[in-house]
Amino acid sequence: MSERQKVALVTGASSGIGYATAIEFAKRGYKVFAGARRLEPMQKLKDEHGVYIFKLDVSDLESVQNAKKLIESETGGEYLDFLYNNAGQSCTFPATDVTDAQMQQCFEVNVFGCIRTVRELIPLIINAKGVIGFTGSVSGIIPFPFSCIYSATKAAIHQYAATLRLEMYPFDVKVINIITGGVKTDIEDKRSLPSTSIYNVPGIDEAYNARRQMAVKNNPMPAEVYARKVVSDFENARLGGTLNHYRGKMSTFLGHVLNFVPRFIVEAALIRKFHLVGIFQYLKEKYSKEKAH
């Protein structure tokens, strides 16, 4: 009896990390399903790599349930060996400016979407004794400015993955969390600060652009290189190993720096890195004067 072909699902596969990871899974002989809200950017995955592409919105329950039915139908079985929860939503705004709609959308995709996808697909994963992976981020560890909401979603996923790993022990399902550093992707948030922002002061454009383009401007790891490492992490997870895998530019350093460098030093470095010294001083003086009056 021949061994069945193993099955992988990658969410958020229309570009960047998800796109490259779908290709890498396909190159290694897996039957790959790639889901995203837009089909057009994934057409080459189908035409050139034999990947099964389909519309998937992880923020919509029915869409996720349909993904399960699709996998069952197309594979003729009830197995999912690898689930890579990669769909993500950027949200580069100060805590004082983010709207309800923006923060809800970010949490809906980055957190609840992952939880929903795992819950709905877990029967297939348990049957396969498979591996569940997440795209975590150094932003869930390091307090990068203007990323309160995005950072909170990634910190939530880190802890969700850690607890899920424990809960999956009886079923021999493995869980890995890819704490991601700089990778060349299209996730940059191009939205501007609102005109009413308390941070609309001299110099903010330079600082805000530096934050939004953080990964792009710092020699990020090519998505293809990242994907090779991540797919190997999935394959090796069956042998045991750790929860967290550090992939991408400076991921290992940033993932651990707060363990050995005092937080106030890290904060000071971030303020300098993102050109915030003058801005913070300006705001401090401005609000001190207003309070005095």
What distances in angstroms separate CA 157 from CA 15, 50, 121, 251, one per listed residue? 21, 31, 17, 16
What CATH number did the domain enclosing 76 receive? 3.40.50.720
Q: Which of 6, 31, 68, 154 is catalytic?
A: 154
Domain-embedded: residue 278? no
Stretches where the chain sits below pLDDT 70 are 1-2, 187-189, 215-216, 290-293
Domain limits for position 110: 7-262
Q: What is the predicted pLDDT for the residue at 2?
A: 62
pLDDT digits (tens, 9 = 90+) for 62-82: 999 999 999 999 998 899 999
Q: How far apart are CA 76 and CA 119, in angstroms?
A: 21
Is 277 a member of any domain? Answer: no
Sheet holding 52-55, edge to edge: 52-55, 31-36, 7-11, 82-85, 131-137, 174-180, 244-247
**Which of 52, 84, 150, 160 is flagged as catalytic?**
150
Annotated active-site residue 154? The verdict is yes
How many structural domains does the chain have?
1
Q: Is residue 280 situated within a structural domain?
A: no
pTM for this structure? 0.94
Q: Across all residues in the chain, what is the average pLDDT?
A: 94
User: Cα 88 to chain center, whole Å?
Assistant: 5
Cα-atom radius of gyration of the chain, to the nearest Å?
Answer: 20
Q: Tell me, yes or no, whether 275 lies in a domain.
A: no
* CA proximity to 27, closest of 228, 221, 226: 228
pLDDT of the residue at 214:
76
